[in-house]
Amino acid sequence: MFNKLIFLFLSFVLLLFFSCQKNDCSVPIKSSGKINTIAVVIDDQLWNGIIGDSIRNKFASPVEGLSKEEPQFDINQYPVSVMEGFVTKSRTIIVIKQGEKNNFSINKNQYAVPQNVIHITGKTLSDLSNSIEKRAPQIIKIIQEGEIKAQQLLQNDSLVDSKAIQKRFKLTLDIPKNYSYALKNESFVWFKNEFSCGSTSLLITQLPNGTISSEDNILEKVIKVHDSIGALYIRGKEPTSSLYIDKSYPLYLSKITLDGKPAYETKGTWRLKNSFMFGAFANYLIVDSKNNRIIYLEGFCYIPSRAQRDYMHELESIIEGIKIN
């Protein structure tokens, strides 16, 4: 009886082994890497020439809306010969090389999950440069979407109880537990995350649908709304201090879609009146016609001694995950 059981067990193991070889039953490798970091696999000769310059100009260009200049992505360069091991676990990989044919492809989850592997091949340096120039906007969009999802997955492990937000504003936001209420009333909520080098904040309120009655002078309307909310709710130590948009810095306005609804995204620099404090902000006015309102969301940070990019990325990933009831 015992020998029979051993025989059946070994038969099962062998069957499983050959079945997995045939159907690829391997467990997917989980991708890794810091947020907003990409691996560029390219030989040193190309990296140190015009192709490397083109990559840096496109993928390490300054982030819009930050009060200090920071690159859009951090780039780690590796020669083609080391395209193995930890490099293949990167969430985003761009492989650039010369070859017999011009080719461009995007492979999902080629070595790990989730992952985008972008292959760019050119017969000449000119072909490679033209391909990078042409494809850069598409590649950047794919990377940004992947990094937002990666950030949201990191945050989903520990979330604030959002029942009060659902009841008050008829929407859902996945807010990490390191945020707490700085101020809340029936029409306004301010979440704040304070740490040793500064703080990040998230504002939620709603406005009458007529706040943006047309697309004329949208930026002026956004500034007016922002500064009025700042004057009402966001104060410093001085009674006369309030949050306002510093128009001496560039402002970036985009029309986007959030949860299937039209929205206006504005990025720039805020300041606190009668104070030395300033930092980056991103606000969103979402047109919710179904509920006859404008949803106003804003993320801003005060990080005087560190880079702001990844803190703002966290705030933007929270906001972009909105679900409106």
- Output the CA–CA distances (angstroms, integers) from residue 12 to 16, 21, 27, 178, 183, in the order listed: 6, 14, 19, 49, 62
What residues contact residue 138 under an 8 Å CB cut-off, 6+ apart?
none
Average pLDDT over residues 204-209: 94
Question: What number is the average pLDDT over the span 23-36?
Answer: 77
DSSP-H helix ranges across the chain: 2-23, 44-47, 50-59, 125-155, 163-169, 218-233, 309-320
User: How is residue 152 written in tokens?
Assistant: 């949201």
* pLDDT averaged over every residue in the chain: 89
φ/ψ of 102, rounded to 5, equals: -80, 130
- Mean pLDDT on 131-138: 97
pLDDT per position as a tens digit, 232-272:
999 877 777 899 999 999 999 999 999 999 999 999 999 99
Mean pLDDT of 117-123: 97
Using a CB cutoff of 8 Å and minimum separation of 24, what contacts does 81-90 make?
82/41, 83/41, 86/32, 87/39, 87/41, 88/29, 88/112, 89/29, 89/30, 89/31, 89/32, 89/33, 90/31, 90/32, 90/33, 90/37, 90/38, 90/39, 90/115
Give 62-83 pLDDT, tens digit per residue. Answer: 999 998 899 999 999 999 888 8
Higher pLDDT, 230 or 14: 230
pLDDT for 26: 62
Domain boundaries, given as residue ranges, for the chain:
37-155, 163-324
pLDDT tens, residue by residue, 153-204: 887 766 787 788 899 999 999 999 999 999 999 999 999 999 999 999 999 9
Measured between alpha carbons, how far is 9 from 217 in angstroms, rounded to an integer?
Answer: 74
Q: What is the mean pLDDT of residues 213-226?
A: 88
CATH 3.40.1000.10 corresponds to the domain 163-324: yes
pLDDT over threshold 50, residue 303: yes
Residues 6+ apart with CB under 8 A from 324: 170, 171, 259, 261, 286, 288, 290, 291, 295
**Beta strand 37-41 pairing with 92-98:** parallel
Percent of the chain beyond pLDDT 90?
76
